[in-house]
Structure 1
Amino acid sequence: MRWQEEDIDLYIGAKEYVDTLLIPLMPLSMDDKFDINKLTVQGELLTIFANEIEKQFKGRIFLMPTYNYMFNEESSLELTRLNNWVDKIEANPFKHIFLLTLDHQWKKHERDLAGNLLWFPAIQSGNVSSKESQVIIKDQINQLSELIRSYW
Structure 2
Amino acid sequence: MKWIESDYKTFVKAKEYVDTVIIPLIPVEAGRNQADSVRMSEFTGFLTDYLERQFMGRLLLTPAFTYLPTEEKDALQKRAESFASHFKDASLPHVFFVTADMAWRHLIEPEVGELIWIPSFSVADMEAAKRQQAFEQQAKQIIPLFTEKWNDTK
TM normalised by structure 2 equals: 0.87
Report the secondary structure of 2:96's partner residue.
Answer: strand
Q: Which amino acid aligns with 1:104?
A: M
Report the aligned-residue RMSD.
1.9
Contact 1:127 1:133 in 2 (8 A): no
Q: Which amino acid aligns with 1:11?
A: F
Which residue does the alignment assign to 2:2? 2
Question: Could you report, residue by residue, the CA deviation over 1:100-151 in whole angstroms, capped at 9, with x for unpaired residues?
Answer: 011111112232672110111112x464525776544331122111221121
- 1:34-73 aligned at under 5 Å gives the runs 35-73=33-71
How far apart are 1:74 and its partner, in Å? Answer: 1.1
Q: Distance in 2 between matches of 1:62 and 1:126?
A: 24
Report the secondary structure of 2:6's partner residue.
Answer: helix
Which residue does the alignment assign to 1:147? 145
Calculate percent identity across the aligned residue pairs.
28
Q: Distance in 2 between matches of 1:137 and 1:112?
A: 25
Contact 2:77 2:108 in 1 (8 A): no
How far apart are 1:62 and its partner, in Å? Answer: 0.7
How far apart are 1:92 and its partner, in Å? Answer: 1.0
Q: Which amino acid aligns with 2:10?
A: L
Which residue does the alignment assign to 1:84? 82
Contact 1:79 1:113 in 2 (8 A): no
TM normalised by structure 1 equals: 0.88
Q: 1:113 to 1:81 in 2, by over 3 A?
A: farther
Q: 1:81 to 1:72 in 2, by over 3 A?
A: same
Q: Distance in 2 between matches of 1:136 and 1:72?
A: 31
Question: Could you report, residue by residue, the CA deviation over 1:73-112 in whole angstroms, capped at 9, with x for unpaired residues?
Answer: 2111111122112212221111211000111111122326
Which residue does the alignment assign to 2:28? 28
- Structure 1: which 5+ runs fail to align? none
Contact 2:96 2:115 in 1 (8 A): yes
- Structure 2: which 5+ runs fail to align? none
Structure 1 outlier segments of 4+, above 6 Å: none
Report the secondary structure of 1:62's partner residue.
Answer: strand
